[in-house]
Amino acid sequence: MLTAQIALFDGFDLLDAIAPYEVFCAAAMNADNALKVEFVTAEGPRSVTSGINGLKIEANGRLDPERAGIILVPGASGEVEGDGPDSIPAILGRAMNTELTGLIGQALGQKDIVIATVCGGSLILAMGGLLEGRPAVTNHLGMDLLGATGAIPIPARIVDDGNLVTGGGVTSGLDVALYLVERELGPRIAHAVERLFEFERRGTVWRKTGMAPGSNKSSRGGEPNIVADTVTRNYGAIDNKIAQASIFDGDWDTTIATPVGKMEVKLSISTSDSMIKGTATQGDETVEFMDPVLQSNKLTWSLRITKPMRLNLKFEVAADGDQMTGIAKAGILPASKLTGKRIF
């Protein structure tokens, strides 16, 4: 029997979860109960509060990362703007910091499990470092953030990458579930469910097969790779060269206040061969600045971090004596405030 586990977390979007649940239940009725579907959580059986008016759903099991079948992760419902505790980025961040990320990581290593996501569900996996280098889609508002995690954003309704199937905005949960029913149980069962619901899937399912469009054109005309594009600049070589002594040279203790917590990061900046260089150390991990550029009195660079989530951040800072201030930005996440002090 094929099983479908829908993994809930506090603040989940109701339609992201309920639509696939109904599709899978209808498929089970049309396939002589060859499919079983249940709501689960990373913690085990409990009442889970959704992000829609606090409506609760009972989950009756713990997510099993070794059970063959389908695991579906919905997105979140909350405030679209701002960085408060009820904002979508904050809800996704809290879900990412539960056992859910680790359990999904285990499941991705099983050859008989398909991981599916709806809307912001892919961002939970991506921020946890599980989708780096993999094509995926999320709600259109989160595509920049998806790219900033190292995933490859594809502007399609559904993206099929083998054991990973991701869906776009909220209503794509219907399309994702119907596609999985067709893929796992066959087109006649999927067609029967479509007739029952009076709903037809829309859009072409993107897969990395066949001819690539516009292969003789520049990469800007094909599918966007936001990670590669974000650091493209054309300031000229002279803009990367700086005076013999930079106002940013030295070691800095900085604090970055993100929507999901504060990060303590040590920056080391130096001038070598008329070029500015830098590293960022967080815990026992040190990463080099990508494409540092000094213009007027501001220094910008990109940096890949892994804690508290995996992101490519774009920094813009200014120095006033031994004090540093600035911002760090990634996709739709609100800009994080950076403050620092030169210690050497």
CB atoms within 10 A of CB 43: 14
For the stretch 2-13, pLDDT in tens is 999 999 999 999
CB atoms within 10 A of CB 279: 15
Q: Which residue has the higher pLDDT, 220 or 247?
A: 247
Q: Does the pLDDT at position 71 exceed 90?
A: yes
Q: Which residue has the higher pLDDT, 301 or 63?
A: 63
Dig out the tokens for 126 from the structure: 């991506």
How far, CA to CA in Å, does 64 sit from each of 25, 32, 174, 193, 251? Answer: 19, 24, 23, 27, 46
Q: What is the pLDDT of residue 41?
A: 98
Q: What percent of the chain has pLDDT over 70?
A: 88
Burial label, 250 (beta-carbon count in 10 A; 0-12, 13-18, 19+): middle
Confidence of residue 290 (pLDDT cuts 50, 70, 90): confident
- Dist CA 109 CA 247 (whole Å): 48
pTM: 0.76
How far, CA to CA in Å, does 65 sit from each of 38, 105, 168? Answer: 14, 8, 24
Confidence of residue 260 (pLDDT cuts 50, 70, 90): low
Q: What is the pLDDT of residue 332?
A: 63
> Considering the chain, what is the average pLDDT of its residues?
88
Confidence of residue 115 (pLDDT cuts 50, 70, 90): very high
Q: What is the mean pLDDT of residues 30-43?
A: 96
Q: What is the pLDDT of residue 271?
A: 78
For the stretch 203-235, pLDDT in tens is 999 999 999 888 655 444 445 443 434 333 333
Dig out the tokens for 35 from the structure: 């499919």
| Bond before 224 cis per omega within 30 degrees | no
CB 307 within 8 A of CB 228: no
CB 93 within 8 A of CB 259: yes
Q: What is the mean pLDDT of residues 290-310?
A: 81
The C-alpha torsion from 249 through 250 and 255 to 259, rounded to 10°, is: 40
Q: What is the pLDDT of residue 219?
A: 43
H helices within the chain, ranges in order? Answer: 14-30, 88-96, 100-108, 121-127, 143-148, 172-185, 187-197, 226-229, 237-240
Q: What percent of the chain has pLDDT over 90?
A: 65
Q: Does the pLDDT at position 52 exceed 80?
A: yes
- Dist CA 59 CA 137 (whole Å): 26
For the stretch 130-185, pLDDT in tens is 999 999 999 999 998 899 888 999 999 999 999 999 999 989 999 999 999 999 99
